[in-house]
DNA sequence: TGGGAAATTATGGGCGTCAATGGATTCTCA
DNA sequence: TGAGAATCCATTGACGCCCATAATTTCCCA
């Protein structure tokens, strides 16, 4: 499988290590770098996660044409690269989340890995519950639109 | 890994030496020159950094076609080459930043190495914070949804 | 179909290695 | 020969690797 699906809640041990779910690891097994890339989500107290391919695409498009990218987009790329961390996992499949990243998501003892297709997120479990409750409410309200919407495939 | 990612804050000792982050060094391990290239950023109080390969690409594209690069861009390249410094690192991976470069970025005790993909920057830590806060605000204001956009990987 | 047996995964902890840093010593060239 | 620069050495603290254990899950076969 090449997609991140489902939710896994794993423990953060006293050394700060967390097991990356096995299915996530196998989804990334094709890439050369044995690990994940994480950066703080801009609009929520969560951590964005992905493979190295994402960053390479970002770098490629950024240098391909400066005209395609607005200063704002450039800001964004800058922020993402600057606040990203390449985390190699150990032989057991664990990574240590950097302090600043943990703080951003208020993670202390447990981390919830949430599959989002081609990317994933890491949440503090309780914060995730709250976030999902909101999302659920919004979804119910906007149901008519959701039903009509088509998945965008490229 | 061939990209400069993440941010590292290292100390400048009394002899002016700074450790180049290990991950940056390994990103440059393929090139023949054991060191980095730095030049003052044109629009901010920061230092631009890259490997020799990037400079060569810059030179190549500048002379390959004047249509791709405007006269202004050509001026830019001239400025960059003129004010560039090739800094070899010592056996421990440290470089000495030239006085004029340090002054331009107001660096005294600490230097923040900021990954930007194929290049990186060096900032005075506090100045970097301020700059990132601005960038973050601009990015959020203009198009938060850009964050969600992601090129597909195959 | 109902057990086990084996493989996989999550978790804990010990230990060696390496990166960052500071200082001393040697080298080089004017 | 002296000053600046480059190399060498020494410390410490973090990180990666190894092994051990436990809790699953998968698989095999009676």
Residue A140 CA and nucleotide D9 C1' are separated, in Å, by: 67
- Strand D nucleotides within a 7 Å radius of protein CB atoms: 6-10, 15-20
Q: What are phi and psi of B102, to 5 degrees?
A: -55, -45
> In this predicted structure, what is the pLDDT of residue A151?
61
Higher pLDDT, B123 or B56: B123
Res A1 pLDDT > 90: no
- Evaluate whether B136 touches A79 at the Cβ level (below 8 Å): yes
Nucleotide nearest to B23 (CA to C1'): C19
Within-domain flag for B147: no
Domain count, chain A: 1
- Phi, psi for B63 (deg, rounded to 5): -90, -15
Q: Is residue B11 part of a domain?
A: yes
Give the tens place of pLDDT for each residue, A107-152: 999 999 999 999 999 999 999 999 999 998 988 887 766 665 566 6
Answer for A4: CB within 7 Å of strand C.
no
How high is the pLDDT of residue A150? 60
- Is there a domain that residue A37 lies in? yes
Question: By residue range, what is the domain housing residue A89?
Answer: 7-125
Does residue A51 form part of some domain?
Answer: yes
What CATH number has the domain bearing residue B56? 3.40.1550.20
Lowest mean pLDDT among A56-60, B71-75, B88-92, B147-151: B147-151
Of A119, A40, A44, A121, the closest CA to residue A76 belongs to: A40
B107 Cβ within 7 A of any nucleic strand C atom: no
Task: Report which DSSP code applies to A65.
Answer: -
Tell the residue number behind the tokens 């470069």, with chain if given: B101
- pLDDT-wise least confident of A15-19, B6-10, B138-142: B138-142
Dihedral sign, CA of B134, B22, B34, B90? Answer: positive
* CB environment A34-58: b (16+ within 10 A), e (fewer): ebbbbbbbbeebbbbbbbbbbbbeb
C chain positions with any atom within 7 Å of a protein CB:
8-14, 18-23
d(CA B1, CA B37): 19
State, as a whole number of angstroms, the distance between the CA of B92 and the C1' of C7.
Answer: 44
Residue B110 covered by a domain: yes
In a domain, A2, yes or no: no
Beta strands A47-50 and A85-88 are: unpaired
* Residues paired with B48 in a beta bridge: B39, B121
Structure tokens at A3: 């997609």
- Tens digit of pLDDT for each residue in B126-153? 999 999 999 988 888 876 445 444 444 4
Question: Is A142 inside any structural domain?
Answer: no
Q: Is residue A50 part of a domain?
A: yes
| Residue numbers in A near B115 (CB within 8 A) | 81-82, 84
pLDDT tens for A72-116 read: 777 888 899 999 999 999 999 999 999 999 999 999 999 999 999
Task: Give the tokens for residue B79.
Answer: 């400025």
Average pLDDT across chain B, whole number: 86
Would you call A59 and B117 a contact, using CB atoms and an 8 Å cutoff?
yes
């Amino acid at each position: 499988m090449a997609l991140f699906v489902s939710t896994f809640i794993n423990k953060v041990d006293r050394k700060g290590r967390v097991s990356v779910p096995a299915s996530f690891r196998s989804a990334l097994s094709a890439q050369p770098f044995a690990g994940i890339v994480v950066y703080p989500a801009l609009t929520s107290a969560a951590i964005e996660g992905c493979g190295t391919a994402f960053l390479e695409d970002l770098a490629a498009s950024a240098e391909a044409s400066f005209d395609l990218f607005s200063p704002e987009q450039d800001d964004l790329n800058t922020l993402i690269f600057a606040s990203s961390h390449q985390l190699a996992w150990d032989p057991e499949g664990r990574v240590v989340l950097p302090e600043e990243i943990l703080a951003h998501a208020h993670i202390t003892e447990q981390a919830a890995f949430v599959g989002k297709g081609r990317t994933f997120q890491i949440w503090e479990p309780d914060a995730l519950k709250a976030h999902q409750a909101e999302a659920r409410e919004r979804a119910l309200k906007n149901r008519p639109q959701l039903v009509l919407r088509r998945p965008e495939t490229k």
